[in-house]
Structure 1
Amino acid sequence: MSLLRRTCALFLGAGLLLISACAGTSNASDDGTSASGAETRAVETEQGEVEVPADPQRVVVLNYALAGYLFDLDVPVVATTPEVTDSDGEFSRFWSEKAKAQGTEFLPWSNDGFDLESIIAADPDLIIAGGIGFPLKHATDAYDRLQEVAPTVLVSGDKQTWQDQFSFIASDVLGRKDAYERFESAYDDRVAEVKDNITVPEGEISILTLDSKDTPYILIEDKSLSAALEPLGFRTAPLFEENDIEPYIAGGDMFGPSLEVLPDILRSETVFVVGFNNASIGVDDLKGEAPYDRVPAFQSGQVYDLPSWSMRGDYDEAMALLDTVEDMFPATQ
């Protein structure tokens, strides 16, 4: 790490002027090249145009759910945030090997925001942040400060599917559209194969996600995991559209009905249960428990567990989800 960046970290509490000086050492020059002579690329974002290095070598990803796309593309990720706030973090089984080979580290973060000093210490030449939920909120709140550390691109909260997120990062940010299209083609082929191999339950589905029995959320139709299941023939009940309940956070992919009204709102014939930052919670924890015992799908037995990593799945998780669904709903003979 350069002396200037170490100085920035030491004097963070004194203000952001030194951070600005740090960023200046890696920003693009007037002729559109970086200090090392590498070309840059202009990326259009909701925050405006951002000039990023064409071949970044020290990427910091401030959303665990977005890191997999960088590893899929073999882009060097020096650091990312853990999946859960205030935790040591654990690499995803889908990209653990690459993260260890690259020496990727975890950066602390909390419900209050990111740790700016640790981001500076990572010495990034590009920051990728945003996505869905808290990571987007924190990145939006800290955007101006992050830009002073390194060029920062926020993935819009409107990009709710892995295709939208991966396409933006690969094509717009990294200029690797052809690589993304190969991933997309492989996924589409697998979707067609699985769709032919399964029998989809009749009626509509909903996805119930929880971090505990007392905090139920329902995923909004046509977003994230709901959108991933629909190409297979599942139809998501429009529960968000039907009920006057705000998303749990602006731009979020779920809403939180109270326990008292949950049985009336969660009316779909089939319900999938997914742990929200909690891999251990599932159908067996809810069966026979109030108010879940009054939810129609629980009463009929049409409830199924999905792995917690499918909640906001990236490309690798979306592919693995196809395997899970294929095993869960085999075609009738």
Structure 2
Amino acid sequence: MKKLLIPFLLLLVLMLSACTDAANETAETETQTESETTTDQSTGETQSGTITYESENGPVEVPANPERVIVLSTFAGNVLALDVPVVGVDSWSKNNPRYELDGVEEVTDENLEKILELEPDLIIGLSSMKNVEKLQEIAPVVTFTYGKLDYLTQHLEIGKLVNKEAEAKAWIDDFKARAAEAGTEIKAKIGEHATVSVIENFNKELYVFGDNWARGTEILYQEMKLNMPEKVKEMALEPGYYSLSLEVLPEFAGDYLIVSKAEDTETSFMESETFKNIPAVKNNQVYVANAKEFYFNDPITLEYQLEFFIESFLGN
């Protein structure tokens, strides 16, 4: 009788153990399934690989780690600086020699078929771009109003959008410190009261810029605290830029002059007597930059602009 009882008890123990393991496995599977559909309250990120970005037009569900981004205007350098893969950009960005865009397609907000072929998982552009609703059928779309945010806050927002806010913040803090330090050194060399102007010739028009229209103005005026001529302050500070004629250019020219120009634009004004007689020109205090490298105010462009200003003002 004892010989029969021992095998029976052993079998009973094995059966109970198997049942317990099966129950635990079922409960674990149910827990995992439930967690895949819940949201991490601290980050807004879901297990399905998306985050909710609070855009100026409301919440947009975007990839937590975008891998095929199309940037239709202005912000390509911000995305590239955060090491996020880009598959399509606007023509202005495509022509920027500072951006590494080999294999990246040039597209517009009207190239819907081409955009569809590129299979983007995120599209970024300006609030003024066309076909937003049609683009939303292809991928999540986030737009920004140009100038609504200051240039560094704009980069921080791009960082939030592509889930790299910490990286964006770290770069901003470091950049501000380096730019301020360079500004102190430049002021010590050129004088506390010296003025600087930034001009550009585009489509046969001359422009002078305020403190927030790229071309290095954010660095010169906001970070380095260099002085803007009174005439520039009066006409260009609020709108960001001001169109002027060659005849009145001397009124807007500072002690130092930054000329943003491209090889394919008309620059004959620089050969005129009016230009040559500007004190900054006579004193050899004119620094000429490649406009295609100066158009934007993203981290890649800003790093180049900062290097350009340090070399121009302090290198000789």
Structure 2 residues not aligned, in runs of 5+: 1-36, 41-45
Residue from 143, 146, 153 that aligns with 2:142? 153
Asked whether the equivalents of residues 61 and 81 of structure 1 are also in contact (C-alpha less than 8 Å), the reply is yes
Query: 2:315 & 2:90 partners in 1: Cα distance?
Result: 40
**CA drift at 1:246:** 9.4
Report the equivalent of 2:205.
215
1:44 and 2:54 correspond: yes
Structure 1 residues not aligned, in runs of 5+: 1-29, 131-135, 248-252
**CA drift at 1:193:** 4.1
Asked whether the equivalents of residues 161 and 227 of structure 1 are also in contact (C-alpha less than 8 Å), the reply is no
Report the equivalent of 2:104.
104
Asked whether the equivalents of residues 170 and 177 of structure 1 are also in contact (C-alpha less than 8 Å), the reply is yes
| AA matched with 1:269 | D
Report the equivalent of 1:9.
none
Distance 1:126 1:246, change over 3 A: same
Report the equivalent of 2:131.
142
1:168 and 2:157 correspond: yes
Query: 2:96 & 2:281 partners in 1: Cα distance?
Result: 33
State which drifts further: 175-184 or 187-196.
Answer: 187-196
Report the equivalent of 1:4.
none
| AA matched with 2:242 | F
Distance 1:31 1:143, change over 3 A: farther
SS at match of 2:137: helix
Residue from 187, 194, 201 that aligns with 1:203? 194
Distance 1:274 1:76, change over 3 A: same
Distance 1:246 1:161, change over 3 A: closer
Distance 1:274 1:45, change over 3 A: same
TM-score, scaled to structure 2: 0.70
Report the equivalent of 1:15.
none
1:78 and 2:91 correspond: no
Query: 1:68 & 1:244 partners in 2: Cα distance?
Result: 25
Report the equivalent of 2:243.
256
Report the equivalent of 1:268.
254
The CA RMSD measured in Å over matched residues stands at 3.5
| AA matched with 2:305 | L
Residue from 188, 213, 218 that aligns with 1:227? 218
Distance 1:234 1:66, change over 3 A: same
* Structure showing greater Rg: 2
1:242 and 2:229 correspond: no
State the identity as a percent: 25
**CA drift at 1:235:** 1.6
**CA drift at 1:227:** 1.6
Distance 1:69 1:324, change over 3 A: same
Query: 2:113 & 2:67 partners in 1: Cα distance?
Result: 20
Which one has a larger percent helix, Structure 1 or Structure 2? 2
Query: 1:168 & 1:83 partners in 2: Cα distance?
Result: 21
| AA matched with 1:255 | Y
Query: 1:236 & 1:268 partners in 2: Cα distance?
Result: 7
Distance 1:90 1:304, change over 3 A: closer
Query: 2:168 & 2:183 partners in 1: Cα distance?
Result: 22
Query: 1:320 & 1:327 partners in 2: Cα distance?
Result: 11
| AA matched with 1:311 | Y
**CA drift at 1:62:** 0.8
